[in-house]
Structures are given as C-alpha cells and as structure tokens.
Amino acid sequence: MLKRWFLIMVAALSLSGCGYNDFQRLDEASKSAWSEVLNQYQRRADLVPNIVATVKGQANFEQDTLTKVIEARAKATSIQVSPETLNDPAAFARFQQAQGELSGALSRLMAVSEQYPTLQANQAFRDLRVTLEGTENRITVARNRYIQTVQDYNVLARSFPTNLTAKVMGYSPKPTFTVQNEAQISTPPTVDFSAPAAPAAPAK
C-alpha cells in the first residue's frame, strides 16, 4: 500500500514538473478568452441589422455600401466555431478573415455616413454608433486577452522540457490573431464625394 501511494506521489510530482498542470490551466484560460472574443463578435453582429435598418431610411444612401455590410455579416455569422477551431489554423484563419471583412464593411459605412448630415442628426443612429464603437473596443480587449493566453500556452509548448510533454500529450501550439493582416483588411477605403473636375477644353 505504501509503495502504491509513493508511486502516485512520484507520478503527480512528475506531471507537475513537466508542465502538465500548466498546460491544463492555460488551455482552459485560452478557451475562456476565446469565448469572450466570440461573445463580443456576436454582440457586434447583433447590432448590424439595427444599423442597416436605420441607414436604409436615409434617402440616396449608397446601396452598395449597405449590401457589403449585409453580405459580410452573413459570411461572418455562417462560419461555425467550436473549441476545435482553436487547434485548426485553417479554420481559425477563415473565421478571422470573415470578421475582418465585416470590420472593413462597417468602417466604410461609418465613413460614408459622415456625408449625410440628417443621418448624423438621427438620435437612433448616433446611439447605435456609440454602441458599435464601444463594442469594437470590447473586441480589442477580448482579442488582446486571447492573444496573451495563447502566447503563454505556445511558449510552454515550445520550451524545454515542457515541449517534451507537449509532444507526448499532443499539445500543439494554438493559432492566434494576425493583427497586422487584419488591420489591412479593416482599413476603410478613401471616400471622396468632391465634385469631379471639369473636363479640359479641347485644344484649338
């Protein structure tokens, strides 16, 4: 009996020393952080129908801009995500790209809306805009937290001697957000509503 307890204690100490418990802790932390990212993205997606409905009431608003927002939301919400997504770089990249496209479409809509004084004076639109800005900030905070937890996990998975535990237990590094790439996707295009220059008079 004493030998059995001794072996259990040795096994427990070995697991602790090789980083097993740290892997479990960081894995749970990354899943929790990921859930918060999804919550904030869903919060943004839920705002889009109200924003579109409000903007539709503005005469002569760019239909192409609204269509792109609607399509981007449909694409972003159609991608199924699960805990397995955290271990699938390709699926993670598809999800990230779709969310980046929605960010870009919303940025363009807000840029275009600046050209409509009556829309800017609409209290419902102003409230939605403030809520959207707050949600974008929440997304940034949630993403940063996820990036940090994944960084901690990946350092553990790649460092010696815990990398040996990672190989034995199948703990592969997790994918993370490529902030620089998404920043490029999310950059709104330049919108120029100035009158076009008059054509030059033909030479005589």
Q: Are 51 and 65 in contact (CB under 8 A)?
A: no
Instruction: Determine which helix (DSSP H) or strand (DSSP E) holds 189, and give its type and residue range.
Output: none
Chain-centroid distance, C-alpha 183 = 11
CA atoms of 23 and 162, how far apart (whole Å): 9
What pLDDT sits at residue 98? 95
The yes-or-no verdict on residue 197 having pLDDT over 60 is no
Going by the DSSP 8-state scheme, the letter that residue 176 receives in this structure is -
97 by Cβ neighbours in 10 Å (0-12 / 13-18 / 19+) ranks as middle
Q: Are 142 and 36 in contact (CB under 8 A)?
A: yes
What pLDDT sits at residue 1? 56
What pLDDT sits at residue 196? 36
Question: Percentage of the chain with pLDDT > 90?
Answer: 58
Domains and CATH numbers, the chain: 24-186 (1.20.1440.20)
pTM of the model: 0.76
Torsion of CA 14, 171, 84, 89, to 10 degrees: 160
